[in-house]
Amino acid sequence: MYKIKNKSIILASSSTSRRNLLENAGVEFLVRPSNVDEEPIKASAISENRTLKECATLLSEIKGTRISHQFPEDFVISSDQILEFRGLCFSKPKSFNEAKIQLHELQGNTHILHTSVIVFLQGKRIWHCLTSPKVTLRPLTKTEIENYVIAIGDSAFNTPGSYQIENQGCHIVSSYAGSFYDILGLPLLPLLEFLRLHGLAFYQEE
């Protein structure tokens, strides 16, 4: 198990994909979701003409700060991802119809996933990484979109764009540019490099 001696690593997110990434990397961590209502914050930031990159970082900052104040002596990891297509922000769909509309717009095109991760200690940001991988969906017919949404069920509501590339989303993605980990919502490789600099190491379980 990989851990930092005398400190806990806390993931300030309820995201299954982020949790799976850390678990598969053998990192010992706790999950403490921030439960921040993202949509009003995002809408306010966009109305203030903030870029979508800045919005992703802002959301990470707000969520992580809240949890870091609760656990000031531990390393708190906070991450957020925003889907940008033709300058517009796509949020998680709230209905199957909205999921189909998003997929219709994204099919046959390339979109950007602005992915921010921040590490906090004692309520302050001590490290930040922002990446912007690109994903291209293959051209899809109306029937293919209908069948895909039926196949994935309620998981359509888990991510903007209604696809999860690590699951059945692989059937509609034609290519991507950037790190696969970043597309899943967590820039894992730079994050692990930072944590190693702060003591992350393998400890054999007793």
How many other C-beta atoms can be found within 10 angstroms of the C-beta atom of residue 158?
A: 16
Burial group, residue 97, by CB count within 10 angstroms (0-12, 13-18, 19+): exposed
Q: Please state whether beta strands 134-137 and 110-121 pair in parallel, antiparallel, or not at all (unpaired).
A: antiparallel
Percentage of the residues of the chain whose pLDDT score is greater than 90: 97
* Residue 206 scores a pLDDT above 80: no
* Residue 192 predicted with pLDDT over 80: yes
**pLDDT at site 134:** 98
pLDDT in tens, 6-58: 999 999 999 999 999 999 999 999 999 999 999 999 999 999 999 999 999 99
Per-residue pLDDT tens over the stretch 149-170: 999 999 999 999 998 999 999 9
Class for the domain spanning 2-202: alpha beta
Average pLDDT over residues 71-75: 97
Among this protein's residues, is 80 annotated catalytic?
yes
pLDDT cut 70: percent of the chain above it:
100
Catalytic hit among 74, 80, 154, 182: 80
Q: Give the mean model confidence (pLDDT) for residues 135-160.
A: 96
Q: Which of the four pLDDT bands, split at 50, 70 and 90, describes residue 205? A: confident
- Domain ranges in the chain are 2-202
Q: What is the 3-state secondary structure (H, E, C) of 36-92?
A: CCHHHHHHHHHHCCCCHHHHHHHHHHHHHHHHHHHCCCCEEEEEEEEEEECCEEECC
Q: Note the pLDDT tens digit of each residue in 90-114.
A: 999 999 999 999 999 999 999 999 9
Strand 30-31 relative to strand 9-11: parallel, antiparallel, unpaired?
Answer: parallel
- Given a contact cutoff of 8 angstroms between Cβ atoms, the answer to whether 120 and 65 are in contact is yes
